[in-house]
Amino acid sequence: MQCVDCVKAQHKESRSLVSMFGGRMAQGRPIVTITLIAICVIVWVGQQINDKVTTDLLYAPVLSGQDPWRFITAAFVHSPSSIFHLLFNMYALWIVGQYLEPMLGRIRLLALYLISAFGGSVGYELLASTPSSPTDYPSGWVTPTVGASGAVFGLFVAVVILNRHLGLSSGPMVALIVINGVLGFIVPDVAWQSHLGGAITGGLCAGAITLLGRNRAQLQWAALAAITVLLVVAAYVRFESVHLPTG
């Protein structure tokens, strides 16, 4: 038997455990991972009910100026005509999310996912083809993209970087990244630009977290904010530099 105060003290102490990367260790179910998956599933169901859900949340570079929220919301929307697009991304998110969440902590995992999602859309914008004349449409600049794959690629690369820091092998993850990267160029209608953008962004975020470590955990947030600002600037400059032909 233990007194109530002793139990409360032990519980408070257990909640304050910090991982070597500076985040509060997430114990029990991977709540953030489950929540992200649940949101994507709910959105996909909404897409089946009303097409407006897809059109309001998808991303296309041409819409960057008027609807900047699409940079993020596109990561929660999937192809309404194929459940396999949703299932594949959610399975990948489940595998990698439940691995990273205890390692980084819930808040850092959420930040990594959202910033990687943003980076995936920015990558798509930076590498999208633009029309040179009014007859060139459609081009990548006006072609919509949806899916969590950009964010998931960011998590993939983060696993490799964090494992390397811990001295753990990442052979299977590297192989998965390479295979999916190649498929992006082979399979039609796959936004490889988003995969690349998300992967680079996730790598930058994970690199900042490992470099600063637990002793400078607060500086990690400044680094993540700096990466986000860099993405905003890149997206703005790219959008302003494109002058669509008229006629």
Query: Catalytic residue positions?
Result: 149, 195
Token pair of 63 as six digits: 């819409």
Closest CA to 210 of 21, 24, 26: 21
- 147 sits in the region (left: phi over 0; alpha: psi -120 to 50; else beta) called left
Say which residues have a Cβ less than 8 Å from residue 162's Cβ, sequence separation at least 6.
21, 100, 103, 104, 206, 209, 210
Token pair of 166 as six digits: 């811990």
Share in percent of the chain as helix, strand, coil (round to 5)? 75, 0, 25
Query: At what angle are helices 192-212 and 171-186 packed, to 10 degrees?
Result: 150
CB 47 within 8 A of CB 54: yes
Closest CA to 202 of 162, 241, 146: 162
Closest CA to 118 of 42, 229, 239: 229
Name the DSSP letter for residue 63. Answer: G
